[in-house]
Structure 1
Amino acid sequence: MIIVQVFRNDDGSIDRFSIKGHANFAKRGEDIVCAGVSAVTVGTVNSIETLTGVEMDAKMKNGFLSASLPVLEKDGTWSQVQLLLESMVLMLTDIAKSYGKYIQIEQVK
């Protein structure tokens, strides 16, 4: 199972997330759940860095991804980053609606 943890501040904003595990929906190379989660999460990190210029502290290895934001002023860039992160959560939630047996999303405060 894939475990997604989204870490939120007291104001509800996201400051980091982590993904660990494998869906085991299908054999390696054919697992659409793992592929979907990877595309959404890695794509989000790449989008944040490319579109906003904010470099996340990201670590990735087999079956694991963690990404943390640096301290940011709550300005337009911060709002863009939050929008991208909330979009990621929405996409992962949609995956979980269809494949909930293979992915769990935890919101952590």
Structure 2
Amino acid sequence: MVGDGINDAPALARATVGISLGQIGSRTAIDAADVVFLHDEISLLPWLFRKAKMTLKIVKQNLSLALLVISLASVPALLGLVPLWLAVIIHEGGTILVGLNSLRLLKK
């Protein structure tokens, strides 16, 4: 839901995602919204949707990567096939990879 007036506030609060315009929007609408465009550029809406989709994609990638690395490090360590220190290093390497993958969200 996108709105900027006081009459939009209940719908913004009830919507899955409420978007309001910061400069021309009423204080009530801004408080009820989940996202506020500070420069009142509604043209940023497609960018916002692309960024949201990319965020979900990267979160899923990070969860998959983390589970894979934890499995690859933990199972052999629990079975005594690799020393614990090596499993810890592999796990920390996976953590760094997850962080680096998340940095992709910062590019425009």
Query: Which structure has greater strand proportion?
Result: 1
- TM-score normalised to the size of structure 1? 0.39
Bigger RCO of structures 1 and 2 (CA < 8 A, at least 6 apart)? 1
Query: Which structure has greater helix proportion?
Result: 2
The structure with the larger Rg is 2
- TM-score normalised to the size of structure 2? 0.39
